[in-house]
Structure 1
């Protein structure tokens, strides 16, 4: 959520940020709407003040025996009471109109974010690892995994397209990946393990910028709750409405949860295989920090995600996303893309974003500066450390063998009871 005071004080800078996002100027419209709202609020306050003042004057007039004067004041008070509902309704209407206008405007990009229209303009920052040289033609995971227990047909029969039933070695390898990620993030990077709800209310979704703009991308239950698209929602919203002590920061939270996405905006993309599912698991990373620490925390979070790929010896590249490819709430985002030899391409496996105070304003989450009375909005960050299903795909493709089996990466063998190879049934 944007601060209307910032827009009033910096209209040109605000419009320049929107322009970098490919959006038209909005500062003048928002400022005019805010002026109208403030004028309506002032009208309410003036009417309330005069009504209170006049009510006191009635008694004074009666004490003086001025019945006519008292009656005139009573008539004025009655008129003000009649006017108040309309004045208050207008002020509320304009406040709602301004809020609705602000809440669908994306975050402004950071100064160091490259300009661009789409993914083709993202900037590659670095690469890690060497692609494996195969002595056979590597296959895509969708061609290998069914014989290993990745059952697309049963998943579709049970729940429809983009659901998968994992069996045997595939199910165990999937579980091993999630546990490995959670252990590394908690044991080595200082994230506190959480087990949050996967059903949340409107406030949690709104506070983490998923509502109202992305309602169609999420699943809403019959009782009005939302299935989380990522545990970023539950973890970040766990401090919604709180005034935190500065000593409690930074807060670093992680959770391995089911996630649910309708993929309404991804029709026709990755319909084959396990890349884009309606239900998946992810090891989420969330940080809540002081504003001055958020840039360093962003780099730290990306490094925590990179660690998983390196421990699994999966080649990857790091991209700094351009203005046209960043998410709605992000002011700066790094993507990690893993190499998939079957596809012969890099594919996204983690996205780590710094949202600044954008979510904190929506959640009304502040911290009290140590030794001072003033408070400030926290900064929030979120990232994948990693997406479990996509990591499973990467392991299958990078560790495949000519006979259709998949070698288990060494880092995962303790989680697999020593199993070294998953072979076709």
Structure 2
């Protein structure tokens, strides 16, 4: 297809197209792009041959200076036919999703995201999972951010398309290193945006990568970071830079201090709970191992105190009548059964012998009591059957007081 030759009437359009194309090079924010490479990519993209003479420019250096006036940072003009052009640092620090030269602004926002939303990692620094970056970048950098749609042109003009967030982060870290190695002029805002160094490391707790600071956020600046700071010429500028560095260090350390305070509070809560559990277990152990006193209860075979008292007060116990049946004399036996009970008649009331006579040295058994009881049972050669005999049996038990 034949290429059209541009005229001077389309100079404004050509300038805008060249500016947009230059910002597709990440090198435009580093060491610059050669004019011949930029011109070649322009003709490939727009299928138009750019004739600078028809636009009123005698040399490529004059054409680049006029057409890229709004964004131009002229890096090298020794070769007038092939100057090296780049974009100003202020332009590179403006968020623009379609512009790969705006990567310094993206790197600066990434540092802010890690500092404000990161957590303390195993080494005491701040880090954040890569899978958490996209919504934060859409909120803090640009609402149309999408790593899958991010593409750029290399210094030779080759097109590269990003697919994953880790590829974009690796490219950002590589571009930062190239910018720091470049010995050209830098503004203070650019040096501040690239001051903190980030790195990608595997996560030990998740199947993901961590984006974290190489050193702790509250650590002093290393030598490589100090050398890229702007040269201070007066005492006022030195005081201003020192104040800015100290304020940023205090801001970065506040997040770590808050995290440490939360961890201390959690440890104190767990310590109190542990002490409470230990006291509860100790109380239960004491309760289980406690033994009752040896003499807590009386001997069940020992008479109650009132028996001793009644025996000492009166040698003769009260006379009561006992029966093996409940209720009346001819009631139902206390045991369970279906045998018809036989009434039992007692000739004389049964006198209970005081228990004190048989205990200790308070008395002896009356004479003849055992012999009389034996004689009563010897009258019968067989033991009477109380449940089957129909004859009423009368048992006379002698009274101890009459024997005496």
Question: With CA pairs under 8 Å and 6+ residues apart, which has the higher RCO, 1 or 2?
Answer: 1
TM-score normalised per structure 2: 0.19
Structure having the higher strand fraction is: 1
Flag the structure with larger Rg.
2
